[in-house]
Structure 1
Amino acid sequence: MISATHLHHLQPAVATNVRAAAHYLDRTLASFRASLEAPLREQDPDVMISCAFILLHYTWATPFFSLDEAEPNPASDKLIPFASGLKSVIQRAHDMESPSLTIFKPLLRPEMIRRFKDWAATVEYSYDFQEEFMLRSKVPVLSREEECWEGCGSVHAADRLVPIFQAVDSISRREEDVEWLMPDIQAYSLMWPAKSNKKFEDEVAVNQPDALVVMLAFYACMTWLLADDVWWAERRSKVMLKTILAYLEKEAESEWKQCARRICKYFGFRPDGTVEGAGGGSRYKAVANSTVSRIHSSKCSESYLWRAPA
């Protein structure tokens, strides 16, 4: 599977490589499913967790569409349900074994996610992302006791995007260097699709426009923040950004098209999803390097550079 995926990465336009990657993924999944159904031995939980993480990274790195699709349909990409299933496997395996015994204990602790969310809660951002990108003011506000209304999955997903928006806004305004926070941002972003609720999964599966706008904003953030620096985010972020933009421009009503155009304008993307200016990759590094230089020169002291808290 790894060899086929590597060939697919090197030559994505070769149909044989696409078929081979899909074929060996199916075989891997069949073996993995059989292992889940069998009684677990003492060492199996760690094996299950490691396989699930490998498959999660693989799924992130490889957006799959039907080979006969001239215009890929966003709904045919199954990252959310697949990632959600893998998250359940990881949780089940972890629960079966004492957390103190698993070799994955450092990776499964919530400190990284909590640190990122705590940091985001302290940052005041200058742009109303949820209103400008997702028309939040038009969504009815219901209590938790009431049944889920149409679009509530998108609201939940948009709320989980807020910490990522905070990071983008802080970096783009060049207020501070957040390099120390990037591992936390990467961990949060990797698991963001896996933590979608079933309602949002269903909304994406039928190309509901508000759900697609949330996914567009997510992939725009990933392209801006991670695409050139994190291997598993590189291809998917750019491919899905272009795919969702093309679908919304063709199929969505005017108000959702306007949301998509505002996302492009904010992040500096052309209408086709490519990056304005040279090259076409993430802008985080250029902005971050500029920020560090500015902070350093303004204080004339290396001791002022932001570092991870003790």
Structure 2
Amino acid sequence: METADANFSFFALGGLDELTETRLKDLKVDAHGEPIRKRQQHRKSRHGCPNCKRRKVKCDETQPSCLNCKKRGIECNLPKTTAKPRGRSVEKNLNFPDFQEASLQWPLRPWTRTSTGEHTSNIGDVSDDSPAHTPGSTIPGNVELILRRTPAERELIRHFEMFTSRFLALSPTIWYSEVLTAGLHEDYLMSAVMLVAATHINHQLPKDDPGRRPVLYHFLNALSGLRNALTEPITGSRLDAIISCSILLIHHSWSCIDVTLDNQKDIASLFTESFSLFHGLKDCVMAGYAQHILSTTAWHKTFAHSPRTTLTEYIRIHKPRDCDFLQKVSHSMLCGLKTYDSACSSADNMNALSRLSLVLHAIKLAYPDIEGSGVADDIYRFLLTWPPFCTKGFMDQVKENNPASLLILLYYYAAIVSVFSGKLWWMRDRALLMYTKLRGMLEGRCEECTGPAIALCGDIGAKMMSSSCI
């Protein structure tokens, strides 16, 4: 079986016809995909130091000496009292704990894993899944690297460290330690960090809320920087940053949906757009020149961990409570929504269903306490990585609306909806949209085919569908 083509086409912005040029202008990028940098607007303050006012430059108002004066080696006469920042804080709006003054102030002491680790949810043993259990510092107390950021950027970085990093895939600890530290030295990676932090904040807010954070600028900077990094000689630190940025962009692509239930965009496009970048990442990581470098990266232990092995052992130990479930799922390969088309039982469909059945079985066994099962992280990781490893033949059958292929997608998105975990906030909206669209397309044609997916969602799927405003 031929797997889906792996390439970096996601990084290209296409040809330069008239339509493309118009889109580039709308996206504020040039013909090479580089962001057209625009001076960022700042609220004027009357509390800057006299030196900065005289030179007509922005003062960061840092006590006892602002950064501009410190760099020039002159005395700073900054007033000792400064105005409190205006505007509402996102943390007050979102009810995040212990975060009242973090939007404008970064702690000057290093954050350690001991202090931050206590916030992490108890979701099973992750010692084999993350390198973050090895000794070492996380964010260094480098004042200049932090203070060169705008207050809005520092707010996003802080939000990522304290909150967003706990709700991302693959590892519960690597994001606020190794990745955030690397981001202090790689601007494009920090742009990806701020992009996902802003996306996380926006996910909690209504679409018309004035407190929503802009994301396009960070997205373009991250994408442009990633493309440039791919042209440089690969080193351990560069590969670390490339992997981290790519996975963050994958999170964003999952959460970024601009269609509704009434939109006519085909299922295949909606399915593939959430993981197109994964193929480029796979090419980069699996390339022969990068294999020996991968062992030196922070991601090495994470990639070495096999969720398939963990889930297989979990299923072996825990006896199935519903022996008929997988038999009902397999029925769709023969029935094909009562079409009885031989193409439904193709090798590509059987491969996709075989891999998906593993996580479906694990979810059924762990439900309703998935977080306490000890394999929650493996379930989430498997759900993230299942689509990119589908074969090219399966993708083609999805494009052809093969009944069994569409049913497999229905089971896949039903699995995500059924988990209903904050750890999958970035997958939830797209999964619900796809589940609803697929269920509308397939329901009523064969209840025996669609029944397992609907049963897997249960009340959770019904409540989300009724309350969703997608």
User: What's the TM-score once normalised by structure 2's chain length?
Assistant: 0.46
Counterpart of 1:254 (choices 431, 442, 445) is 445
Q: Aligned pair 1:214/2:408, yes or no?
A: yes
The equivalent residue for 2:431 is 237
CA deviation string 1:177-196 (max 9, x = no partner): 95212122222222112222
Q: Structure 1 residues 276 and 45, CA, compared in 2 at 3 Å: closer, same or farther?
A: closer
8 Å Cα contact 1:116-1:181 kept in structure 2? yes
Number of equivalenced pairs: 264
Q: Structure 1 residues 74 and 180, CA, compared in 2 at 3 Å: closer, same or farther?
A: same
8 Å Cα contact 2:345-2:404 kept in structure 1? no
- Shift in Å, 1:214: 0.8
Amino acid at match of 1:156: N
Q: 2: CA distance between counterparts of 1:65 and 1:52?
A: 21
The equivalent residue for 1:264 is 454
Counterparts of residues 188-203 of structure 1 (less than 5 Å): 188-203=382-397
Q: Aligned pair 1:128/2:316, yes or no?
A: no
Counterpart of 2:361 (choices 140, 153, 166) is 166
Q: 2: CA distance between counterparts of 1:75 and 1:17?
A: 34
Amino acid at match of 2:268: A
Deviates more, 1:193-202 or 1:23-32: 23-32
Amino acid at match of 2:324: D
Amino acid at match of 2:394: F
The equivalent residue for 2:310 is 115
- Shift in Å, 1:160: 0.5
Amino acid at match of 1:184: D
Percent of residue pairs identical: 20
Q: Aligned pair 1:85/2:293, yes or no?
A: no
Q: Structure 1 residues 133 and 42, CA, compared in 2 at 3 Å: closer, same or farther?
A: closer
Q: Structure 1 residues 103 and 278, CA, compared in 2 at 3 Å: closer, same or farther?
A: same
Counterpart of 1:70 (choices 263, 272, 297) is 263
CA deviation string 1:47-71 (max 9, x = no partner): 11111221222223x1534579635
- Shift in Å, 1:11: 5.3
Deviates more, 1:75-84 or 1:91-100: 91-100
Q: Structure 1 residues 17 and 155, CA, compared in 2 at 3 Å: closer, same or farther?
A: farther
| Corresponding residue SS for 2:263 | coil
Q: 2: CA distance between counterparts of 1:224 and 1:201?
A: 24
CA deviation string 1:152-203 (max 9, x = no partner): 32211110112212212323499x9952121222222221122222222222
Q: Cα RMSD between the aligned structures?
A: 4.1
Of structures 1 and 2, the one scoring higher in RCO (CA 8 A, sep 6+) is 1
Q: 2: CA distance between counterparts of 1:135 and 1:22?
A: 45
The equivalent residue for 2:246 is 52
The equivalent residue for 1:274 is 462
Q: Structure 1 residues 69 and 277, CA, compared in 2 at 3 Å: closer, same or farther?
A: closer
Q: 2: CA distance between counterparts of 1:40 and 1:262?
A: 46
Could you say which structure has the higher helix fraction? 1
Q: Structure 1 residues 245 and 84, CA, compared in 2 at 3 Å: closer, same or farther?
A: farther
Counterpart of 1:95 (choices 290, 293, 301) is 290
Q: Structure 1 residues 23 and 208, CA, compared in 2 at 3 Å: closer, same or farther?
A: farther
User: What's the TM-score once normalised by structure 1's chain length?
Assistant: 0.67
CA deviation string 1:92-116 (max 9, x = no partner): 4993444442111221113444222
Q: 2: CA distance between counterparts of 1:153 and 1:33?
A: 32
Give 5+ residue unaligned stretches, structure 1. 140-147, 281-310
